[in-house]
Structure 1
Amino acid sequence: MRTVALTGSIGMGKSTVAAMFADEGVPVFDADATVRRLQGPGGGLLAPIEAAFPGMTGLAGVDRAALGSAVFGDAAALKRLEAIVHPAVAAARAAFLAEHAAAPIVLFDIPLLFETGGDRAVDAVIVVSADPAVQRARVLARPGMAPEKLAAILARQTPDAEKRAGADIVIPTDVSLDVTRAAVRDAIRHLSGACLHRREGG
């Protein structure tokens, strides 16, 4: 099995590319989706989050917007939240690997891969990338997004150029969906072969 991480800065089209890999039969572990499930109605993180951040949960699960506002810019609060969330995600990831142990390739959709040093724990890294103007237009079209919020998010993320430099494969998303899908299929063929050396000591 090859473990492959998919990452990219905000607005780069990572979710679209992850879905393309899934369409091609590659098992995909989405860390964000796992967190949403664990924080949703009846989720396993509701009780510990409520204990650490009173008033942030209800029948619909965690109030993600309120919780995000509570930890945004507060390093100590963010660390408390991460101490709750990260072990639960790690357990879900282990279960995913066990379930797909026979798969030749598994893909981990990890937004903050380089920022957390996770690139060192996988066999290969795929970065999705787009022209900065395309990225900005996509993000600013999202509800509740503003230029200053985008700037703050980008300040916490490894620059796109550095991510591309650290990638084994770069998939463009400022092109047609057909071109991006072709790049995904090329990546799968590449990863299925014996041509990865940088991370395997060759």
Structure 2
Amino acid sequence: MMVVGLTGGIGSGKTTVAGFFKDKGIPVYIADDAGKRLMGDSEEIREKVIDLFGESAYNGSQPERKYIASKVFNDAELLSKLNKIIHPAVEDDFQKWLGKQSSVYVIYEAAILFETGGYKKCDLSILVTAPKNLRIQRLQKRDDSSRDEIQQRMNNQWDDEKKSELADFIIFNDDLEQTKLQVKHIHDKILKAGKNSQKFC
């Protein structure tokens, strides 16, 4: 089956878009959610994260996410090391999940799909974009974050212009009804391509 990568900068609404694909019966794998789950479930990951950040990175079996976030958002090297711990485990988990699916295509939603090169393992990729001010408003409402905190997080991701060069489809998400129409259009095109294609992931 085809694997369609879905990504977008923080506050772009990529998880909302993923939900619209799910409403159409398409299986959706959320890589960030899987990473959070695995950080709590995997003893191997826990040991590696503690080696990287110290004992304060965990409270019992659960990661101290705010503590870890405070360490990586201003340290690109440390963030890269954390990703190298989490991403292989997520990839293994995704492959197990993928083996249980039977649809023409699945959605693989990841925040840094392009930055990590993960898009190369997908048949197609979708980028979700939105105006920067709208993204900041969404994040302030969702997380009660300051503009400075949000900007720091944005700085750890590629800008939309760079990502758009690699995307097969781009969804402009500033109006939900229009976004749903864009999802339908892309869904129909992927179904058609998937049924006529011999390229499967």
Task: State the TM-score bracket (shorter-chain normalisation).
Answer: 0.7 to 0.9
Matching residue of 1:117: 117
**Contact 1:130 1:173 (8 Å CA) reproduced:** yes
Which amino acid in 1 is paired with 2:13? G
The structural deviation recorded for 1:76 is 4.2
Q: Does 1:173 align with 2:173?
A: yes
Matching residue of 1:95: 96
**Cα distance per residue 1:151-189 (max 9 Å; x no partner):** 2222222211232343221222101x2222222122111
Q: Compute the TM-score of the two structures, normalised by the length of structure 1.
A: 0.85
Q: Compute the TM-score of the two structures, normalised by the length of structure 2.
A: 0.85
Which amino acid in 1 is paired with 2:182? A
Unaligned 5+ segments in structure 2 are none
Which amino acid in 2 is paired with 1:78? L
**Cα distance per residue 1:64-86 (max 9 Å; x no partner):** 00111123323443343223212
**Contact 1:4 1:124 (8 Å CA) reproduced:** yes
Specify which structure has the higher proportion of helix: 2
Instruction: Tell me the SS of whatever aligns to 2:108.
Output: strand
Identity %: 31
**Contact 1:43 1:61 (8 Å CA) reproduced:** no
Let me know the Cα RMSD of the aligned residues: 2.1
Matching residue of 1:187: 186
The structural deviation recorded for 1:190 is 0.6
**Contact 2:73 2:153 (8 Å CA) reproduced:** no
**Contact 1:49 1:84 (8 Å CA) reproduced:** yes
Of 29-38 and 134-143, deviating more is 134-143
**Contact 1:4 1:123 (8 Å CA) reproduced:** yes
Task: Tell me the distance in 2 between the aligned counterparts of 1:142 and 1:194.
Answer: 36
Matching residue of 1:49: 49
1:57-136 to 2 correspondence within 5 Å?
57-59=58-60, 61-100=62-101, 102-136=102-136
Task: Tell me the distance in 2 between the aligned counterparts of 1:2 and 1:82.
Answer: 25
Matching residue of 1:149: 149
**Contact 2:5 2:107 (8 Å CA) reproduced:** yes
The structural deviation recorded for 1:92 is 0.4
Task: Tell me the distance in 2 between the aligned counterparts of 1:146 and 1:14.
Answer: 21
Task: Tell me the distance in 2 between the aligned counterparts of 1:47 and 1:173.
Answer: 39
**Cα distance per residue 1:41-98 (max 9 Å; x no partner):** x444334323443122124610100111123323443343223212211110111221
Instruction: Tell me the SS of whatever aligns to 1:7.
Output: strand
Instruction: Tell me the SS of whatever aligns to 1:125.
Output: strand
